[in-house]
Amino acid sequence: MHLLLLAIATLVGSGAAGLVWARTRWVSRVGAAGAVAGCAMAIVPAVRVLAGAPTESLRMSWQVPYGAFFIEIDPLSAFFLVPILCLSALAAVYGAEYLGAYREERRLGSAWFFFNALVAAMVVVVVARNAVLFLLAWELMALASFFLVTFEDEKPSVRDAGWMYLVATHLGAACVLALFVLLGCGSGSLDFDRMSGASAPVGLLFLLAMVGFGTKAGFMPFHVWLPEAHPAAPSHVSAVMSGVMIKTGIYGLVRILSFLGPPPAWWGWLLCGVGLTSGILGVLFALAQHDLKRLLAYHSVENIGIIALGLGVGELGLSVGSAPLAVLGFAGALLHVLNHAIFKGLLFLGAGAVAHATGIRDIDHLGGLLKRMPWTGLSFLIGAVAISGLPPLNGFVSEFLIYLGAFRGALSADTTAAVPLFGVVAGLALIGGLAAACFTKAFGIAFLGEPRSAPAWRAHEPGLAMRLPMLLLAASCVAIGCLAPLVIGMLAPVVERVSGLSPETVRGVVVSATGPLSFVALAALGILLLTALLAGLRQRLLSGRRVEETCTWDCGYARPSPRMQYTASSFTQPLTELFGLVLQSRRALVLPRGLFPRHASLTTETPDVCAQRLYAPVFTAIGRGLSALRWLQHGQVHLYVLYIALTLLVLLVWKLG
């Protein structure tokens, strides 16, 4: 436990050191080294607990009312700590090189300060066992990430994105605050181990948790900040935000669910519904995007949807008293948390490498990058296969667990409970198919073919500090795919904590799932082995034969140019057309006219429907209503001081009166 405190101190200290030496050449090295050292220290207790050591806790009294300074690492905290620490450390190494490009024009000290503060805040969020401490860390996490999102604050789009993020995250935090106040009311303590939901209807607490934590996690329709904030941030920050920071929302939800006791069936239905909506709409909006990082941000919404589906299956299982359903659902959801951290981190780092090399984020202007950036391309391809949920990689393992839970439940349950479970099966299949479409597009258009623009021609591989984290993450994708049965064994204590089921029950289901997972791992190894064998066979067949090179078959047209290649927009046109009702894409089409047309153009844009149709009218109305209070705002400081003094006076009178 002391190691964890030391790690947090290291993180904060190195961040502060970065602030002090902000103008030196050392700033990135100090910041990154501090982050890596802090993460390395903090992972020791986490791994110890996951390996079976008893829960570690530390309780100290402090000045803050309603409880103590109380932190604890139980299996659930430890399970979330591992991806947080690993991905943050890798992102810090990557960031040391990535931020180097900005050294001339910007002060990097604050960037490192906020990055390390963000990591420390995430660590505290998952180990805090007192609501005040939790909320402090939660707020620090939001603010640190806000300042990281607005790193390039001279761009209006970045400022808008940051503003949207700040508003969204605070609306969520308000719900979380209300939730904890209600939870603490009954017992008079905000320590997690003394909380009970007796003072308020449990359903209300559940809904508050769904909205509050769902905003951070990116459940639809609370996801609107994600596609704005993630592309705006520097890429290593996007990786951390998308890979692990939004997972603290899932952590909060799961932690609260473990307080609330046995769930009624509608919680499971709601989670499945939210999961299906986020999953399907997330991937559809991702399909329609041209900006690589925006596309990845929408995929985070999709994957959070898959996690919600797993949680929904788990809650349904608890409500109908079916242990296999509960255990497999939760195990799938939790494993997907880890897997998504790995491949989404990897993909954002890859997108960052592309942006670093070309300065372009629009897929339609890229192309041919695999030849110029072979290692980045290979890692991106592995990430793309993994996020599409395909064997032999890790994405398939967690989706398989959710499938298995839903499938087992659907076969044994009565018709009412079977409906959402079949919905889960069909929904996951549709999400999988659409995700494959989206990532063949992202990889195929950006990395294959010929470059579509001059910067893409000149692209080059980044240095070792940026390549190494990507390759390590790619290797983890393969490793988890091939070691599936071992991984689920490690999940058992975590699932126990989440579901509240007895260790024997959980162990029993886990053992029963080990068989199928062994086959999955066997298939993964089989694919890798057969690929190697067939590649060898092909090599043998071709040795000594003529292998020529020429241009791509052009169907008789003699002057093909890179601009004539299929683009991302054309690739997804059939799907975006098919789902046009949901996507509401805008098209600006200028048709060629006359016998010798000079000009024709087509632009498509798919803004977020929720932001446009749901929030924009509400916030406009609020803005109009509040403008009535404008007379209070004079811009004169002494009047503001007067307001503060008056408020304090009123509070004083209220307190004494």
Residue 397 sits in the site that holds another protein (CB under 8 A): no
Query: Phi and psi for 597 in degrees, rounded to 5?
Result: -65, 140
Residue 510 sits in the site that holds another protein (CB under 8 A): no
Q: Min. distance of Cβ 574 from another protein in angstroms?
A: 4
Q: Which stretch binds another protein (CB under 8 A): 69-77, 256-264, 313-321, 556-564?
A: 556-564
Residue 404 sits in the site that holds another protein (CB under 8 A): yes
Residue 262 sits in the site that holds another protein (CB under 8 A): no
Residue 387 sits in the site that holds another protein (CB under 8 A): no
Q: Interaction with another protein in 409-428: which residues (CB under 8 A)?
A: 410-415, 418, 422, 425-427
Q: Single out the residue of 187, 562, 584, 604 in contact with another protein (rule: CB under 8 A).
A: 562
Q: Single out the residue of 34, 234, 432, 493 in contact with another protein (rule: CB under 8 A).
A: 432
Q: Which stretch binds another protein (CB under 8 A): 144-152, 264-272, 520-528, 593-601?
A: 520-528
Q: Single out the residue of 30, 385, 488, 491 in contact with another protein (rule: CB under 8 A).
A: 385
Q: Min. distance of Cβ 297 from another protein in angstroms?
A: 21
Q: Which stretch binds another protein (CB under 8 A): 24-32, 118-126, 228-236, 365-373?
A: 365-373
Q: Single out the residue of 542, 621, 644, 648 in contact with another protein (rule: CB under 8 A).
A: 542
Task: Report d(CA 149, CA 84) in Å as an integer.
Answer: 18
Q: Interaction with another protein in 440-459: which residues (CB under 8 A)?
A: 440-441, 443-445, 448-450
Residue 434 sits in the site that holds another protein (CB under 8 A): yes
Q: Min. distance of Cβ 358 from another protein in angstroms?
A: 17
End-to-end CA distance of the chain: 45
Choose between 553 and 654: whose C-beta lies nearer to another protein.
Answer: 553
The three-point CA angle 85-88-91 to 5° equals 150
Choose between 209 and 353: whose C-beta lies nearer to another protein.
Answer: 353
As given in the structure block, the two tokens for residue 631 are 């007379």
Helix axes 394-412, 484-499, angle to 10 degrees: 60
Residue 330 sits in the site that holds another protein (CB under 8 A): no
Residue 407 sits in the site that holds another protein (CB under 8 A): yes
Whether the link from the prior residue into 592 is cis, omega within 30° of 0, is no
Q: Min. distance of Cβ 390 from another protein in angstroms?
A: 5
Q: Which stretch binds another protein (CB under 8 A): 85-93, 270-278, 339-347, 369-377?
A: 369-377
- Give the residue among 234, 218, 198, 342 at the shortest CA–CA distance from 286: 218
Contact 74/55 with Cβ under 8 angstroms? yes
Residue 581 sits in the site that holds another protein (CB under 8 A): no
- Give the residue among 305, 290, 159 at the shortest CA–CA distance from 246: 305
Q: Single out the residue of 547, 626, 637, 653 in contact with another protein (rule: CB under 8 A).
A: 547
Q: Min. distance of Cβ 464 from another protein in angstroms?
A: 22
Residue 535 sits in the site that holds another protein (CB under 8 A): yes
Residue 389 sits in the site that holds another protein (CB under 8 A): yes
Residue 390 sits in the site that holds another protein (CB under 8 A): yes
Task: Report d(CA 222, CA 171) in Å as an integer.
Answer: 10
C-alpha pair distances (Å), 270 with each of 174, 210, 250, 538: 21, 10, 15, 51
Q: Interaction with another protein in 608-627: which residues (CB under 8 A)?
A: none
Residue 574 sits in the site that holds another protein (CB under 8 A): yes
Q: Single out the residue of 564, 642, 645, 652 in contact with another protein (rule: CB under 8 A).
A: 564
DSSP 254-283: HHHHHHS-SPPHHHHHHHHHHHHHHHHHHH
Site for another protein (CB under 8 A): how many residues? 84
Choose between 44 and 530: whose C-beta lies nearer to another protein.
Answer: 530
- Give the residue among 309, 335, 328 at the shortest CA–CA distance from 393: 335
Task: Report d(CA 343, CA 390) in Å as an integer.
Answer: 12
Q: Min. distance of Cβ 535 from another protein in angstroms?
A: 5
Choose between 327 and 390: whose C-beta lies nearer to another protein.
Answer: 390
Residue 465 sits in the site that holds another protein (CB under 8 A): no
Task: Report d(CA 324, CA 328) in Å as an integer.
Answer: 6
Q: Min. distance of Cβ 377 from another protein in angstroms?
A: 8
Residue 508 sits in the site that holds another protein (CB under 8 A): no
Residue 516 sits in the site that holds another protein (CB under 8 A): yes
For 595-642, give the secondary structure using H, E and C. CCCCCCEEEEECCCHHHHHHHHHHHHHHHHHHHHHHHHCCCCHHHHHH
Q: Which stretch binds another protein (CB under 8 A): 169-177, 472-480, 551-559, 624-632?
A: 551-559
Give the number of other Cβ atoms within 10 Å of residue 454's Cβ: 9
Contact 308/381 with Cβ under 8 angstroms? no
Handedness of CA 67, 68, 72, 77 (dihedral sign): positive
Task: Report d(CA 174, CA 129) in Å as an integer.
Answer: 19
Q: Which stretch binds another protein (CB under 8 A): 457-465, 479-487, 527-535, 601-609?
A: 527-535
Task: Report d(CA 608, CA 216) in Å as an integer.
Answer: 17
Residue 514 sits in the site that holds another protein (CB under 8 A): no
Q: Single out the residue of 167, 202, 527, 582 in contact with another protein (rule: CB under 8 A).
A: 527
Compute the residue count for the chain: 657
Task: Report d(CA 450, CA 171) in Å as an integer.
Answer: 45
Choose between 252 and 432: whose C-beta lies nearer to another protein.
Answer: 432
Q: Min. distance of Cβ 518 from another protein in angstroms?
A: 8
DSSP 442-484: HHHHHHSS--SSHHHHT-----HHHHHHHHHHHHHHHHHHHTH
Residue 396 sits in the site that holds another protein (CB under 8 A): yes
| Half-sphere CA count of 390, side-chain side, radius 13 A | 14
